[in-house]
Amino acid sequence: MKTTTTLLVTATIITIASPVLAADSGNAENGKAVYMRDGCWECHTSVGMGAVTGSKLAPNPIPLEGIIAELRHPRQAMPQYSPAVISDAEIADIHAYLATIPEGPKAKDIPILDKIGK
């Protein structure tokens, strides 16, 4: 009985976690290519740092489900991207690309910025 319960719990966890695992296995290289091809960079910059034209997307991107939701049903100024234009798998690749973008240096580690206010 205990073994059956353990197996059942393990199977449930694997089932629940698999979309997340699939998201993490997106192809970052292809994601960058799609991000450039479909013009995300025009509003969000090539490294997703954001600008007046679009929000910050990286580092630490929002979960894949959030990116898919925004692309399929944008809240305001975002253009809408249908699955015919960009597939869920390609969005997973974009998510993987955004996840590879490192944190920028802190202002205190940039000498000219560290002098401000001193």
List the one residue from 44, 58, 92, 101 that touches ligand HEC (CB under 6 A): 44
> Does residue 57 belong to the site contacting ligand HEC (CB under 6 A)?
yes
Shortest approach of ligand HEC to residue 30 CB, angstroms? 13
Label residue 99 exposed, middle or buried (CB < 10 Å: 0-12, 13-18, 19+): middle
What part of residues 2-31 is at the interface with ligand HEC (CB under 6 A)? Answer: none
Buried b (16+ CB within 10 A) or exposed e, 45-71: bebbeeeeebeebbeebeebeebbebb
Q: Which residues lie closer than 8 Å to 64 by C-beta, 6 or more apart?
A: 19, 23, 26, 91, 92, 95
List the one residue from 79, 89, 100, 110 that touches ligand HEC (CB under 6 A): 79
Cis ω before 59 (30° cut-off from 0): yes
> Does residue 63 belong to the site contacting ligand HEC (CB under 6 A)?
no
List the x/- string, 92-111, binding to ligand HEC by CB under 6 A: --x-----------------
List interacting residues with ligand HEC (CB under 6 A): 38-40, 42-44, 53-55, 57, 62, 67, 70-71, 74-79, 81, 86, 94
